């Protein structure tokens, strides 16, 4: 069983996904699987993904939540990580650090810090003390979220997923360790189109 399943939804991602894949490939910890969901792609995203993983699904949801659900169905790892195809891990020790931390802590969710483009450094919780609603700055115990799925909203599907997870009264650990680069407001990204 892989230690980590890294789920990456992709939609016409060929112009920027290589950096995401390369940041995974560079990891010194190798007990992981990459699950690429090429959702409504009209470019060569699937061809690029095939250079990094054999776990590829080509779907036509055109919906990041549904694409992540497909990834959850395919995942066999002990822990789940979500990565957007235009983001990346900050360095080659991310999975090593996560593996070590998870062996030290008893938790269902581990929330970590990240680099927020334009806003710079972000701790696991925002200014109001609430967790960021992003699913990618957390590692999720697969057995804990096995019955959870994203809804089919085009906006806020990650917000609702996290709310449902919190209803299950998870044991959460905050870790002020930056591991992820959120490429916020990249030109043409969903975050730019939503204006958030």
3-state SS class at 144: helix
pLDDT digits (tens, 9 = 90+) for 59-90: 999 899 999 999 999 999 999 999 999 999 99
In the chain, what are the domains? 4-194 (3.90.550.10)
Q: Which uninterrupted H or E stretch holds 111?
A: strand 109-116
What CA–CA distances, in Å, run from 69 to 103, 153, 177? 27, 13, 27
Cβ within 8 Å of residue 76, ≥6 positions away: 1, 2, 5, 33
Task: Label residue 169 exposed, middle or buried (CB < 10 Å: 0-12, 13-18, 19+).
Answer: exposed
pLDDT digits (tens, 9 = 90+) for 12-53: 999 999 999 999 999 999 999 999 999 999 999 999 999 999
Q: Which uninterrupted H or E stretch holds 121?
A: strand 120-122
């Amino acid at each position: 069983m892989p230690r980590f399943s890294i789920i990456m939804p992709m939609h016409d991602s060929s112009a920027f996904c290589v950096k995401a894949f390369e940041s995974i490939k560079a990891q010194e910890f190798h007990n992981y699987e990459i699950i690429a969901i090429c959702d409504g792609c009209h470019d060569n995203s699937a061809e690029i993904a095939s250079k990094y993983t054999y776990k590829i699904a080509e779907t036509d949801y055109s919906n990041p939540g549904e694409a992540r659900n497909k990834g959850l169905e395919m995942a066999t790892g002990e822990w789940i990580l979500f990565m957007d195809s235009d983001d990346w891990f900050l360095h080659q020790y991310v999975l090593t650090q996560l593996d070590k931390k998870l062996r030290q802590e008893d938790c269902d969710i581990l929330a970590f810090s990240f680099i927020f483009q334009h806003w710079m450094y972000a701790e696991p919780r925002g200014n109001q003390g609430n967790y960021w609603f992003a699913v990618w700055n957390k590692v999720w115990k697969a057995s804990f979220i096995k019955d959870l799925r994203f809804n089919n909203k085009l906006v806020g599907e990650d917000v609702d997923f996290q709310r449902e997870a919190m209803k299950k009264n998870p044991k959460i650990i905050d870790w002020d360790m930056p591991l992820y680069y959120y490429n916020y407001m990249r030109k043409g990204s969903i975050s730019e189109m939503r204006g958030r």
